[in-house]
Amino acid sequence: MSIRHGVTTRRVASAALLATALTLSLTACGGDDGGSAKDKGSSSAPAATGNSKPQDDGGNTVPDTSKTLATISGTGGFEFIIHGATRDPGGFLTVTGSLKNTSGKKTYAPVAWNGQETNVRRTGRSLAGMTLVDKTEKKRYYVLRDTDGYPLTTTGITDVDAGGSVPFFAQFPAPPDSTSQVDIQIPLMPTATIEIS
């Protein structure tokens, strides 16, 4: 009888401990509606910039579409509209825009947009293949990575519906203050020159 009583007591104690751990876990996760760092990369600008960006009702960052720096049209019906290239505190340059599908059918994003680096390929679909070229300084800038190797750009774009549009961002090291223009290069798309603000 004492053995049975000991087993029951241990089961009750284990269940209580599990319930407490679950409650603490849920409490710890419940305070931030922004999701994990990996989730944030797919729909919003990185928190490291410190800038307040416009957001939609779902909390997703929305690019300022009041101006257009460049429109890049490529084969396959995709069109990148670049709305901003802004210097952020800390030496970053954030490019924002919209990816549109101008075709009459759902179109799938090319794998080449992910980039060729092994470390970024393992993180899944992204725009990590995007680069900026400063022709004056003769330097190429790649999308920044976080400490886990995830690119600081919109991730998870696998397809865009016919006529649909998806906001995007990509964060780069900022060129010197003397640089006012850079070329933006996206794999399989023509190169365009954009102004830095």
pLDDT digits (tens, 9 = 90+) for 10-67: 554 444 444 444 444 444 444 444 444 444 343 333 333 333 344 444 455 555 678 8
Tell whether the torsion through CA atoms of 65, 70, 71 and 73 is positive or negative: negative
**Which burial class, exposed, middle or buried, applies to 28 when counting CB atoms under 10 A from its CB (0-12, 13-18, 19+)?**
exposed
Instruction: Of 158, 149, 155, give the one whose Cα is nearest residue 122.
Output: 149
- Residues 74 and 190: their CA atoms lie apart, in Å, by 7
Helix ranges restricted to H, 74-164: 118-121
pLDDT digits (tens, 9 = 90+) for 171-184: 999 999 999 999 99
Write the Ramachandran bin of 141: left for phi over 0, alpha for psi from -120 to 50, otherwise beta: beta
pLDDT digits (tens, 9 = 90+) for 129-187: 999 999 999 999 999 999 888 899 999 999 999 999 999 999 999 999 999 999 999 99
pLDDT digits (tens, 9 = 90+) for 56-112: 444 555 556 788 999 999 878 999 999 999 999 889 999 999 999 999 899 999 999
